[in-house]
Each structure stands twice: as C-alpha cells, then as structure tokens.
A = this chain, B = another copy of it.
Amino acid sequence: MRKNFGAKTWAYPMPVFIVGSYDENGTPNAMNAAWAGMYDTGLIMVCLADEHKTTENIRKTGAFTVSFATAESVVSCDYVGIVSANDVPDKFSRAGFTATKSELVNAPIIDQLPMTMECRLHKFTEDGICIGEIVNISAEESVLDESGKVDAKKLNPIIYDSVSHAYWNFGEKVGKAFSDGKKLI
C-alpha cells in the first residue's frame, strides 16, 4: 500500500550547494541552495529567487562558485541558508568563512569548504533559473585519496532531507555504477 502525500517538493537525495559570489565592491557572499543539479554537459543549474543578494551579485559579476557543504561545516552552511546578506551585510564572515578569489572567474572560493566548482554565468533561463558553465573544479589535497582523486569519505559532503529537514552524511558504498547492472544483461 502506498500513501499519497500530494504535490510535495521532496526528493532523495537533495544537495546542499553553497553558492559563493562577490558584490560590486568585492564583498563575498554565500547562500545555501538545495534546488539545484546538473543541467546539461558542463552546466549546473541553481534555482535562485530574484530577491537574493546572490542573484544580484551573479547578474553583476557574471560568475559564481558552488561548494559542497560538509559535515564539518554544517553550522556555517545552515547559517548561510537562514540569513540574508541584504539584512546582515557581513553574513559571510559571521558564518566563519574566508574567501580566496578564483583565478578563473570573479567569484570567491570559500576556504573552509574543500571542494568547489568555479562557474561563469551561462545565462538565466526563460524561467529565471541560473545556469553556470563549470570552468574548473578544485579540491583540497586533504580530501584526495593516494591516487589524487577526490575521496567522498574524506570530503564528507552532506545531503539535504527535505522531508525531515535534516542533513545526512554518506554511509557505505552499496554499488558500482555502469557495472552492477551488467548482471542483468
């Protein structure tokens, strides 16, 4: 038996993407976005309401970063989803974040979040959704495995649970993509 819940905006998993941007004075900002995902080859989509400081910043600078929230930074990452830079201009530093400017785009890399996409604004869609071209991904050496690849367990990214409003970390590897399914071929 299935229970119907109606038209809810629930999905498993949902991301916790931290969107970094600069205003016209170079003041960094960060916000928390769960309505987001890959849009197409090399492109990432983030749903940003027009009233966000982040949206205004991206329209002006044509750039942003997306970092993946981690268990270690959960308080900071949740905070930037609660408070607006329109009300708290020093939100970014209050979150405990410091920024290093990307060498590729006019957007801040958040030093406390170890893996980051640097994006050039591709466009806002006809629906006002922000699409970024991924120019580079960087990761701290501390989250790499011995072969130099990103190690999900070391990165310790979090997942947003939109039903219970909880953040989860990753558990165990339960399968190999493009591999396990071959058993049925």
Q: Taking beta carbons and an 8 Å cutoff, which residues of A are in contact with B?
A: 1-15, 17, 34-42, 44-45, 47, 66, 68, 71, 74-83, 94-96, 109, 115-117, 125-127, 129, 133-141, 144, 148-150, 152, 155, 157-161, 163-185
Is the pair B11, A117 in contact by a Cβ cutoff of 8 Å? yes
Is the pair A78, B177 in contact by a Cβ cutoff of 8 Å? yes
User: Per a CB cutoff under 8 Å, which of B80, B141, B157, B172 touches A3?
Assistant: B141
> CB-CB < 8 A to A109: which residues of B?
2
Is the pair A82, B185 in contact by a Cβ cutoff of 8 Å? yes
What's the minimum C-beta distance from A144 to chain B, rounded to whole angstroms? 6
The oligomer's copy count stands at: 2
Closest 9 CB pairs of A and B: A37-B37, A79-B181, A78-B181, A171-B171, A12-B157, A35-B38, A167-B175, A74-B175, A2-B138
User: Per a CB cutoff under 8 Å, which of B6, B78, B176 touches A180?
Assistant: B78
What's the minimum C-beta distance from A16 to chain B, rounded to whole angstroms? 8
Is the pair A36, B37 in contact by a Cβ cutoff of 8 Å? yes
User: Per a CB cutoff under 8 Å, which of B14, B169, B179, B182 touches A37?
Assistant: B14
> CB-CB < 8 A to A80: which residues of B?
181
Is the pair B181, A173 in contact by a Cβ cutoff of 8 Å? no
Known: A3-B139, A127-B125, A150-B10. A174 touches B167 (CB 8 A): yes
Known: A10-B137, A134-B9, A159-B13. A35 touches B37 (CB 8 A): yes
Least CB separation from A157: chain B residue: B12
Bound: A47/B42 CA distance, A: 12
